[in-house]
Amino acid sequence: MNEEATAAASIGPLDIGRVMAALPHRYPMLLVDRVEELILDRSIVAIKAVTINEGFFQGHFPGRPIMPGVLIVEALAQAAGVLAVESLGLAGSRKLVYFMAIDEAKFRKPVEPGVLLRLEVEFVQKRSSVCKFAGRALIDGQLAAQANFTAMIADPPSV
């Protein structure tokens, strides 16, 4: 893709309001604080500011706070959700992005309070209702975690 086409397809940064418009998650489960860059149909770079105020640090682990790996993968999935919703033009549609599979998850470095967790996710395969992603979480350029995952886009359950 040439630079002009990439620039036209690139949006960002997106503030928390735009993130919340794309995702149904709210505190304490909203794990994306902002989007640095989103290239439609291709990739996203998002940030999670990890603070000691996160509720999970009270029990994981007292005296040695570490962000649970499952929440790191969830943060990657939420970034992927923003990418999918924006790329497929679903903002405001109330569509939900559900996990279907998580593969090859690896945790390389503990995520501790006080860091900015950089979430890099790209499409591996994109269809109208099922998408595959590859994600990496980094701290100061060093790989903290990575995973491949599949998600389904669906209507919310009837109330």
**Which residues make beta-bridge pairs with 133?**
123, 149
The rounded distance, in Å, linking the Cα atoms of 31 and 47 is: 9
Span 14-44, pLDDT tens digits: 999 999 999 999 999 999 999 999 999 999 9
CB 94 within 8 A of CB 112: no
**Where do the structural domains in the chain lie, given as residue ranges?**
3-154
For residues 125, 35, 77, 146, the Cα torsion angle rounded to the nearest 10 degrees is 80
Cα distance between residue 17 and residue 13, in whole Å: 11
- Rounded to an integer, the average pLDDT of 75-85 is 96
Residues identified as active-site:
60
**Element (H or E) spanning 102, and its range?**
strand 96-107
Average pLDDT, the chain: 92
pLDDT at 3: 54
**Which has more pLDDT, 134 or 155?**
134
Looking at domain 3-154, what is its CATH homologous superfamily?
A: Hotdog Thioesterase (3.10.129.10)
Across the range 145-155, mean pLDDT stands at 96
- Share of residues in the chain with pLDDT > 90 (%): 81
pLDDT score at 127: 87
φ, ψ of residue 15 to 5 degrees: the values are: -80, 180
